[in-house]
A = this chain, B = another copy of it.
Amino acid sequence: MEKLLCGVDIGGTKCAIALVNTEGKIIDKINTCAHVNLNEDGLVKLVAEQIKELIQRNQLQETDLQGIGMGCAGHIRFRDGVIITTSNLKGFKNYPLRDAMQKYFKIPVILDNDANAQAFGAYKFGAGKGYDDMVFLTISTGIGAGIVINKKLFRGATGTAGEVGHTIVEPHTELTCTCGNKGCLMAMACGMALPFLYQKKIKEGKKSKLNIPPHFDISKLSGQYLKKGLDMDDPVSKEIISDSAYYVGLGIYNIFQTLNPPLIVLGGGLTNWGDFYLGKIKATFYELARDMIFDPIKIVISNIGADAGVIGAAALTLE
């Protein structure tokens, strides 16, 4: 019997733990939110217990698993399996998460950044199948990337390669990123920019059909709201989505000039904006790239779906 994979996707609100087969299909899964209020060691114990629960309730042995892959947002020192910093969880500064989890298991435990995990999932099980090189870009609350070169993740000196969201594309803007710099790609284009962009359009006198009540906490204006706006043909929502698409298209163009990959896969919540969004992204990219494309480049939305994080984490065990 081919071994199963175990994936753990540690998010800021939800932690998903799953058994995944070598085709990338989920066999069984546990979602928990209980990790949020635990300290480092408490979180590790909880996740380890859930993994053991999954093994037991599927009548498996630990050795039926290839390994345990964990994905977590933040800066990860890959070789050492250490979370350097993460904004998803309290604490976890320079925390050796991989080794802490390894104490509970004999099979290998791997820890990587969530964008890298999703990239490797897309490479193994999704749109990247059959390619040697590709770039995965996740457009969500933030923007991150995973770079596959010669069938492996390229991680750089520390393990933080692919932080494309922090590349600066508009230095003379008022939009500031969580990192403190102005005009990072993620400050301009992703979920965290939406409230600012909405307020700006309204201040410019634009009328939105969204009818957001005056007492609404505008910092909670999410991609889902704008999706509603898009569906009701709201001009303000469409303008914001177009603005985001412009910068994502520009970011993809910069990746293209730097790495010349044959494939760029887009994931993350904002890709739910669908064809309107992808169309604008591609239009910007092709307008900038013009006659500098000499081989086909494919830009697609990931087909892995909502479980991309945990499936990607599981994929790390196959690298």
Contact A169 B166 (CB under 8 A): no
Given the complex, which residues of B lie within 8 Å of A260, measured CB to CB? Answer: 155-161, 163
Interface of A is mostly: loop
Contact B168 A288 (CB under 8 A): yes
Contact A253 B168 (CB under 8 A): yes
State the interface size on chain A (CB cutoff 8 A). Answer: 46
- List A44-102 residues whose CB lies under 8 Å from chain B: 75, 77, 84
Q: Which 10 A-B pairs have the closest CB atoms?
A: A156-B260, A161-B260, A167-B254, A157-B262, A163-B257, A166-B257, A158-B294, A158-B295, A157-B295, A160-B260
* A18 to B: closest C-beta gap in Å: 29
In the bound complex, CA of A179 to CA of B253 (Å): 13
Contact B295 A163 (CB under 8 A): no
Using known A-B contacts A75-B294, A77-B294, A292-B75, determine if residue A157 contacts B171 with beta carbons closer than 8 Å. Answer: no
Interface centre among A84, A161, A162 (most CB of B within 10 A): A161
In-complex Cβ contact of A258 among B157, B164, B179, B292 (8 A): B164
Q: Check if A128 is an interface residue, CB within 8 A of chain B.
A: no
